[in-house]
Amino acid sequence: MSPTRAVRDVVLVDAARTPFGKAGANGLYAETRADDLVVAVFRELMRRNPQLPPERIDDVAVAATTQIGDQGLTIGRTAGILAGFPRSVPGQSVDRMCAGAMTAVTNLSSGIGVGAYDVVVAGGVEHMGRHPMGEGIDPNPRIISEKLVDPEALLMGKTAENLHDRFPQLTKARADEYALRSQEKTAKAYADGVIQPDLVPVATRTAAAGWGLATVDEPPRPETTLEGLAALKTPFRAHGRVTAGNAAGLNDGATGAVLAAEEVADELGLTKKARLVSFAFAGVEPEVMGVGPVPSTEKALARAGLSIADIGLFEINEAFAVQVLAFLDAFGIADDDPRVNPFGGAIAVGHPLASSGIRLMAYLAKSFELHPEVRYGLTTMCIGLGMGGTVIWENPNYDGKDA
């Protein structure tokens, strides 16, 4: 007898995150452990979904770019134990740099699709204050000595400057204007109460200030002006174009998501916030890693039998404004297209590396809820060392009426 190999639909049941903090001695989470951030998110996901029996969770995957200290020790397993999951629930760690949480979602979703899992929990965390990007690494010297990649490929800010070089139409003025819109849209989303429902309050403590409670994102700068952005220094190159104002900062934070086979979500009475259609990862020249979302999106669209015209909502990680602009130009989308990052993005709210993929999915799920006329949306991001990742989602609220 041959085994049954029917591919199952995968749905995003729920997603949540901590408020994102600024990395450093004065940041929200300066004296808070990275794994405790993940635990707070996992506990909140279970609280929000009481109809999900914890023993039904088949696997847990948590991503971190720097997998040492309180982000090490197979954090998917240890965070699950700390969150109170049954000992029968296994766990794993994932690393694809900035796309860690995105990869945790796609890896586990693939398992659901082939029937290995019914329900899974994915997450991502980065405490860049405790663990700066690249801490403890030992790059093979052949990477540089044999010129396998340009040395600048190891410094993300310089890859963004390289992207400006390659596409001269992506000017600093355009990058600054895009960055200002991200701040303005984030401020409006907060004023409208869109962002707050998915934030998990986190107890914090410092030796100097005692106990506190993190309830909102720390990085946004609603007072930002174009004049202020124009005056910022360009730390990666003299007379460059990349600044602290048109790039995401160094941040701390964690995200988490519950995914399930659609029929299992129906069986348990779980919500369905997005349905996975396709995903793809692609490699590009490491020294211009910011262009990675272009080929990954082309691959994901081709696999789904869709075109860019079918996509009604875009969540693009704003590691650097120039990287978003490169994507928009490649697909003929205007810089201020309202379908793109309607609630702002990482330039305002922060980019704790491996956690950000699920933040994008949470934002898209909220947009799906608000826009039943939109059938398809995507989440995409550039990835260090020259990669891009894209996930295409279908709106379960789609009402069949084209926008």
Query: What does the DSSP assignment read for 45-110?
Result: HHHH-TTS-GGGEEEEEEE-SS-SGGG-S-HHHHHHHHTT--TT--EEEE-BTBTHHHHHHHHHHH
With beta carbons less than 8 A apart as the criterion, state whether 144 and 311 touch: no
Respond yes or no: is residue 239 known to be catalytic: no
pLDDT given at position 400: 86
With beta carbons less than 8 A apart as the criterion, state whether 275 and 281 touch: no
Query: What is the spatial distance between Cα 151 and Cα 103, in angstroms, rounded to a whole number?
Result: 26
**C-alpha distance across the termini of the chain, in Å:** 48
Strand (E) or helix (H) holding 194: none
Strands 311-316 and 376-383: parallel
Respond yes or no: is residue 98 known to be catalytic: yes
Write down the catalytic residue from 131, 164, 371, 382: 382
Block residue for tokens 């998990």 = 200
Structure-block tokens of residue 101: 């949480």
Query: What is the spatial distance between Cα 60 and Cα 308, in angstroms, rounded to a whole number?
Result: 32
Per-residue burial over 189-201, b = 16 or more CB atoms within 10 Å of its CB, e = otherwise: bbeeebbeebbbe
The pTM assigned to this predicted structure is 0.96
Query: What is the spatial distance between Cα 216 and Cα 343, in angstroms, rounded to a whole number?
Result: 15
pLDDT given at position 113: 97
Write down the catalytic residue from 127, 131, 164, 351: 351
Query: What is the spatial distance between Cα 215 and Cα 20, in angstroms, rounded to a whole number?
Result: 9
Block residue for tokens 């403590």 = 205
Which residues does residue 377 pair with via DSSP β-bridges, in sequence order? 313, 393
pLDDT lower than 50: segments of the chain? none
Structure-block tokens of residue 214: 């993190």
pLDDT given at position 2: 62
Which residues does residue 379 pair with via DSSP β-bridges, in sequence order? 315, 391
pLDDT given at position 205: 87
**Rounded (to 5) percent helix, strand, coil in the chain:** 35, 20, 40
Structure-block tokens of residue 209: 């200030």
Burial environment of residue 72 by CB neighbours within 10 A (0 to 12, 13 to 18, 19 or more): middle
Burial environment of residue 49 by CB neighbours within 10 A (0 to 12, 13 to 18, 19 or more): middle
Query: What is the spatial distance between Cα 126 and Cα 71, in angstroms, rounded to a whole number?
Result: 8
Write down the catalytic residue from 98, 127, 131, 371: 98
Block residue for tokens 């609603």 = 222
pLDDT given at position 207: 83
Strand (E) or helix (H) holding 363: helix 356-370
Which CATH superfamily groups domain 10-130+248-394?
Thiolase/Chalcone synthase (3.40.47.10)
pLDDT given at position 280: 98
pLDDT given at position 145: 85
Residue 157: how many other CB atoms lie within 10 Å: 19
Block residue for tokens 């202020």 = 228
